[in-house]
Chain A
Amino acid sequence: MSIKENITEIRENVWEIPSSFKKEMKVPGRFYLEKEAILNLEDDAIEQIANVACLPGIQKFAIGLPDIHFGYGFPIGGVGAFNVRTGVISPGGVGFDINCGVRMIRTNLTEKDIKPKMKEIVDKLFVNVPSGVGSKGKIRLDENEIDEVLNFGAEWAVENEYGWDEDLKFLEENGRMLDADSSKVSEKAKKRGIPQLGSLGSGNHFLEVQKIDEIFNEEVAKIFNLEPGTITIMVHSGSRGCGHQVCSDYLRTMDKAYKRHNLNIPDRQLACAPIDSIEAQEYYQAMAAAANYAWANRQMMIHWVRETFEGIFNQSSEDMEMSVIYDVAHNIAKKEVHNIKGQNQEAIVHRKGATRAFGSKRVEIPKEYRNAGQPVLIPGTMGTASYILHGTDIAMEETFGSTAHGAGRKLSRTAAKKKFTADEIKSDLESKGIHVKANSAPVLAEEAPGAYKDVDQVVRTSDSTGIAKLVAKVVPLAVTKG
């Protein structure tokens, strides 16, 4: 019998696997998927949601979002919220690239302004925003400074003149998790972080110049200050080797911890510890520090983007109105207050490949946006559209204020390289007027749009189920990749 036979549709595009599916399940599993997507979903990813539902202290549902696919422990596109007294923290619920996320800035430039300078823009962004390992870093931290970055995040960056004070207001957590403690981050993680701060990374990370192509909700677009036809810039990046090492270090710690705490878990990759344990607290503090590193990292890159545009257009970034729309994290665990069983309760919400999508009136949202709900940034893949949505009260009720984070892979890297060549991809993008520059030919083939699921479908499902509503569509004009 297929695992899918246990799933029922409870309303359009919302599916449930009952807690009776496995005797250890404490809550049902929920999936936000169109019918075609649920039919194509790997059984392993469904099994992973059922496994997450077995973890101690889980609240309401284990959640699979519209971009769900099989991951390490939790699926990617997975959310689990845990009671702060009876629950657990699991590094597998956050992922390797802690606070991998997306930042978007607006401008008052139009396609007409930038078209004649497109090649120069791409070439200079490629040089000015370093990408992979061995790129000439633009800064070199010393060992004391890395602690400052880990503890203060984007605040450290702004204090060191990377960007504007007002940027901080438009970053999730204002670019700094206060629970961060750099002393809980290993020397290995710090050493990996020192040479990589202010760099994009490789794989699906990118820096993209886009234009606002379509507005779906004029009222919210006005609140977010989105003008049709204007240029935006998006950066998708995370905590680099520092965050990966934090995850690796604490996976080892948790592997011992769950045995020591006699936790009965269905999958070793869900290794976890009770929230009030030393292991969980230390992981949370280290994870928060790695998240801060990522916010500092994106802050620095956006600063260099502004400098690049200033040099090309001979205008100040203030005159070009290059302000931050928003910055979202999509691999993170956070203490949040949610309505659970009719009461406001604190929970640790794990979002792995999932974007926070808080509804209106939440104090965590900048007051300028509070009437609309939080901006939600869902990037497409190289050469496809990306979207701006807003969080909703439905998301607050059903998904702990969460939605999808992008389009998951459908082809392995090996399969993508067999199917596509870098030259084909480059010429295909250029025929559509999209300039592309990457550090390596294999990355272009691996990251081919055809290697990914359809981001339009992911966004459509978010919108139709009400967990995030469409505001605007942006299309790429230029992209640089590590």
Chain B
Amino acid sequence: MKIEKNLINPNIEKKFEFFEVTADIGYWAYGNTLEEAFENAALAMFDVITNVQKIAKNETREISVESEDKISLLYDFLEELLILHEIDLILFSEFEVKILSDKIDGNGNYKLKASLTGEYIDWDKHERKSEVKAVTFHMMKVLCDTICKVRVILDL
């Protein structure tokens, strides 16, 4: 999914891009900040499930997760979204993420709060793509340098 070149960092042309994994699906998601990379990782996951452009924005949810490191935080965030999707039968296409850290000398946790926007599943309207069975830690990465990027593999 192309977006306009990012004004802060012109290298970011894509929110996410998929790569080959034999039985599952993998992607990199990008952002100028860690929060933005997490938002795009969530968007990519829902893009595996359906065409995110067809999701109306009439339901909102708030979630919070707390984890020991950034990789676990990404995992827990995506897993929480997957569970919400399955239990409430809902699809999301807009994410606003805030990440706080109370890590001191290696102790403490990362805290994430997110606001999610989407709508209930209606398979007559929404395009069915793939069912995501699980988020995995396999090859998961969180990297921040001039930009932030995260790598995720989903079990399908």
Contact = CB atoms under 8 A, between A and B. Distances in A.
Given A96-B155, A133-B85, A203-B156, A409 B22 contact: yes
Interface in A409-430: 409-415
Contact of A76 (B23, B25, B123): B23
A391 interface: no
Contact of B130 (A69, A96, A409, A442): A442
A460 interface: no
B129 A132 contact: no
A467 interface: no
A72 B130 contact: no
Interface stretch (B53-61, B104-112, B135-143): B135-143
Contacts of B23: 69, 71, 76, 408-409, 412-413
Nearest to A353: B23
A269 B22 contact: no
A96 B25 CA distance: 15
Interface string B8-25: 000000000010111111
Contacts, number: 92
Contacts of B86: 133, 192, 195-196, 241
B21 A269 contact: no
Most buried by B among A135, A412, A414: A412
B87 A414 contact: no
Nearest to A411: B22
A134 B89 contact: yes
B5 interface: no
A247 interface: yes
A133 B137 contact: no
Contacts of A135: 123
A70 interface: yes
Nearest to B121: A134
Interface in B77-113: 79, 83, 85-87, 89
A245 B83 CA distance: 9
A27 to B, nearest CB: 25
B133 A241 contact: yes
A251 B21 CA distance: 21
Contacts of B144: none
Interface residues of B, number: 28
Contacts of A439: 123, 128
Contacts of A57: none
Most buried by A among B20, B79, B87, B127: B87
B42 to A, nearest CB: 17
Most buried by A among B18, B22, B129: B22
A195 B89 CA distance: 10
Contacts of A96: 133-134, 136, 155
A201 interface: yes
B18 A414 contact: yes
Given A192-B87, A414-B18, A446 B131 contact: no
Given A195-B86, A195-B87, A413-B25, A132 B133 contact: no
B134 A248 contact: yes
Most buried by B among A97, A414, A415, A439: A414
A70 B123 CA distance: 33
Contacts of B128: 132, 439-440, 442-443
A259 interface: no
Contact of A412 (B21, B121, B130, B137): B21
A272 to B, nearest CB: 15
Contacts of B138: 72, 269
A247 B133 CA distance: 11
A380 interface: no
Most buried by A among B123, B134, B138: B134
A202 B132 CA distance: 9
A414 B131 contact: no
Contacts of B135: 248
Contacts of B24: 413
Interface string A160-198: 000000000000000000000000000010011011100
A97 B133 contact: yes
Contact of A413 (B79, B137, B156): B156
14 contacts: A72-B136, A76-B23, A96-B136, A97-B133, A132-B128, A134-B123, A192-B83, A195-B86, A203-B131, A245-B83, A269-B137, A412-B21, A413-B23, A440-B130
Q: List the 8 closest A-B pairs by CB distance, nearest first.
A: A440-B128, A202-B131, A134-B121, A244-B134, A412-B20, A244-B133, A132-B131, A96-B134
